[in-house]
């Protein structure tokens, strides 16, 4: 995100692509000629200058007349509520006050675009919340575009008219804060923005999806029939009750109330100031997060309901691990720069040296505590809890990604060994996708 911001500012040269401002290509334009200004995370104020001189610095470089300079500095300081501080030394100011000075210095040159690189990261939580509101007001008054880089999801939703969610330099989704929150396009966005219940599911047909071992009506369509998908349900979208809830045995016998779709027991209940956050273990062993204004204490048996419009269905990013490979002698196939054994029956269908496509299901990757015991080694790079298992992204030492479904608990950064049993490696003829 910061690299992109630096390219827009001209501090870094883009290796490919174009940067357009109002239709004009500014990709090769020097930084000092671009109508943009930057507010940095660490403010970058001049410690030997007072507040007035810090804010006026850009105007002095442009040779602005003294009377005009004073008028503009006072106007900028008034906009950031720092009118009484113009002759104070910047090192006597609090973090929030220094941030205001940095913003005043950036806006005084009347840029067409203001770039902000995590400008509130150094502030405490209360001050951050106050500055978020002030930035929104400044944006309205200035009437210019703000491009704001942050890793704080709440901050992005609070400040933005339009949000761009990025992962490893690639855009995952662009939309309004409401769209990003309510209509995430993939698991990463759903997990990154807000709290979510993300579950493996099957789209039975239009407007009917199967997860947690039962069918649910939904409003999504166009996914096909019997298609593997993911669903996301926000914790606040569950309705919960403990009144007249049948026992687990009665549920198994079909003696249930029509209203409730899932039944379970409360595992934990935490007060969050405005609501209670609870984890529910359903009768079929799915752990769900639920938020409600009422508290349901641990051990309480409850029923859960979710409305069709509150179930968001998403395409899966991938259905299994897929790699290119090449056949070797002795019933071995090479992929991920290693030799792996395959079953004799599979190996005999291919010639030595033949290029093949390889697939391995997520739940058929065996992770080892001792990385020396694996054919490959790597570390846990990303984790996603999916109700009854973890979906892990393992990045190998050579930079390749392997995806794993497991019930074992790992932490991000854990070193692991990777093994795959010969019978779980599926081989296909290159391009034809004909399994043999």
Q: What would the pLDDT profile of 200-247 be if each residue is shown by its tens digit? A: 999 999 999 999 999 999 999 999 999 999 999 999 999 999 998 999
Confidence of residue 435 (pLDDT cuts 50, 70, 90): low
The pLDDT tens digits for 334-347 are 999 999 999 988 88
Report the pLDDT averaged over residues 390-404: 96
| Residue 363 to residues 162, 333, 359, Cα–Cα distance (Å) | 37, 20, 12
Average model confidence (pLDDT) for the chain? Answer: 91
Name the pTM for this structure.
0.84
pLDDT number for residue 86? 85
Strand 145-149 relative to strand 113-117, pairing: parallel
Arithmetic mean of pLDDT, 394-407: 96
What number is the average pLDDT over the span 313-322?
A: 94
Q: What per-residue confidence (pLDDT) applies to 107? A: 83
Q: In terms of DSSP H, where are the helices of 301-383? A: 344-347
The DSSP letter of residue 246 is P
pLDDT above 70 covers a percentage of the chain that reads 98
For residue 329, how many other CB atoms are within 10 A of its CB? Answer: 9
Highest-pLDDT range among 42-56, 252-266, 292-306: 292-306
Query: Strand 113-117 and strand 36-39: pairing?
Result: parallel
Q: Is 90 exceeded by the pLDDT of residue 319?
A: yes
For the residues of 43-57, what is the DSSP string, one character each? ----TTSBHHHHHHH
pLDDT of residue 18: 93
The CA R_g of the chain, rounded to the nearest whole Å, is 28
| Predicted pLDDT of residue 436 | 53
252: three-class secondary structure by DSSP: helix
Residue 70 has pLDDT above 70, yes or no: yes
Rounded Cα–Cα distance for residues 393 and 397 (Å): 13
Residues 100/82, Cβ–Cβ less than 8 Å: yes
Contact assessment for residue 291 and residue 235, using Cβ atoms and an 8 Å cutoff: yes
Sign of the Cα pseudo-torsion (256, 217, 292, 233, in order): positive
Give yes or no for residue 105 having a pLDDT over 80.
Answer: yes
* pLDDT for position 292: 97
* Backbone angle region of 254, left / alpha / beta, with phi > 0 → left and psi within -120 to 50 → alpha: left
20-34, 71-85, 369-383, 413-427: least confident range? 71-85
For position 225, what pLDDT does the model report? 96
Q: Taking residues 55-73, what's their average pLDDT?
A: 87
> Model confidence at 433, in pLDDT bands (50, 70, 90)?
low
Q: How many CB atoms within 10 Å of residue 63?
A: 7
Are the CB atoms for 4 and 38 separated by under 8 Å?
Answer: no
- Once rounded to an integer, what is the mean pLDDT over residues 139-160? 87
The predicted structure's pLDDT at residue 129: 81
Asked if residue 53 has pLDDT above 80, the reply is yes
């Amino acid at each position: 995100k910061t690299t992109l911001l630096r390219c827009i500012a001209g501090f870094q040269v883009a290796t490919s692509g174009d940067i357009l401002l109002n239709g004009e290509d500014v990709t090769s334009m020097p930084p000092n000629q671009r109508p943009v200004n930057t507010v940095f995370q660490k403010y970058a104020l001049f410690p030997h200058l007072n507040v007035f001189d810090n804010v006026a610095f850009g105007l002095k470089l442009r040779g602005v007349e003294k009377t005009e300079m004073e008028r503009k500095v006072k106007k900028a300081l008034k906009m950031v509520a720092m009118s009484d501080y113009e002759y104070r030394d910047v090192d006597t100011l609090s973090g929030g006050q220094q941030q205001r000075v940095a913003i005043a210095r950036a806006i005084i040159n009347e840029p067409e675009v203001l770039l902000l690189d995590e400008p509130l990261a150094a502030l405490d939580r209360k001050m951050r919340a106050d500055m978020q509101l002030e930035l929104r007001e400044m944006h309205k008054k200035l009437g210019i575009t703000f491009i704001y880089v942050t890793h704080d999801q709440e901050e992005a939703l609070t400040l933005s008219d339009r949000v761009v969610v990025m992962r490893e330099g690639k855009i995952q989704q662009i939309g309004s804060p409401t769209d990003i929150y309510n209509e995430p396009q993939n698991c990463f966005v759903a997990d990154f923005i807000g709290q979510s219940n993300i579950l493996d599911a099957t789209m039975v047909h239009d407007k009917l999806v199967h997860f947690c071992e039962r069918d649910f009506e939904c409003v999504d369509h166009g996914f096909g029939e019997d298609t593997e998908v993911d669903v996301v349900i926000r914790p606040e979208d569950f309705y919960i009750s403990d009144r007249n809830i049948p026992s687990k045995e009665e549920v198994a016998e079909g003696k249930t109330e029509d209203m409730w779709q899932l039944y379970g027991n409360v595992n934990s209940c935490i007060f969050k100031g405005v609501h209670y956050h609870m984890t529910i273990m359903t009768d079929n062993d799915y752990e769900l997060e639920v938020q409600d204004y009422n508290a349901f204490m641990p051990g309480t048996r409850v029923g859960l309901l979710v409305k069709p419009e509150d179930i968001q269905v998403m395409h899966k990013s991938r259905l299994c691990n897929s790699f290119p490979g090449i056949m070797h002698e002795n019933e071995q196939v090479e992929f991920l720069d290693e030799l792996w054994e395959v079953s004799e029956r599979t190996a005999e269908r291919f010639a030595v040296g033949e290029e093949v496509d390889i697939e391995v299901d997520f739940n058929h990757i065996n992770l080892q505590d001792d990385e020396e015991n694996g054919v490959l080694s790597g570390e846990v790079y990303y984790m996603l809890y999916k109700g009854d298992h973890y979906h892990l992204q393992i990045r190998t030492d050579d930079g390749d990604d392997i995806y794993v479904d497991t019930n074992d608990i790992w932490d991000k950064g854990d070193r692991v060994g990777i093994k795959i049993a010969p019978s779980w490696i599926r081989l296909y003829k290159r391009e034809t996708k004909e399994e043999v």
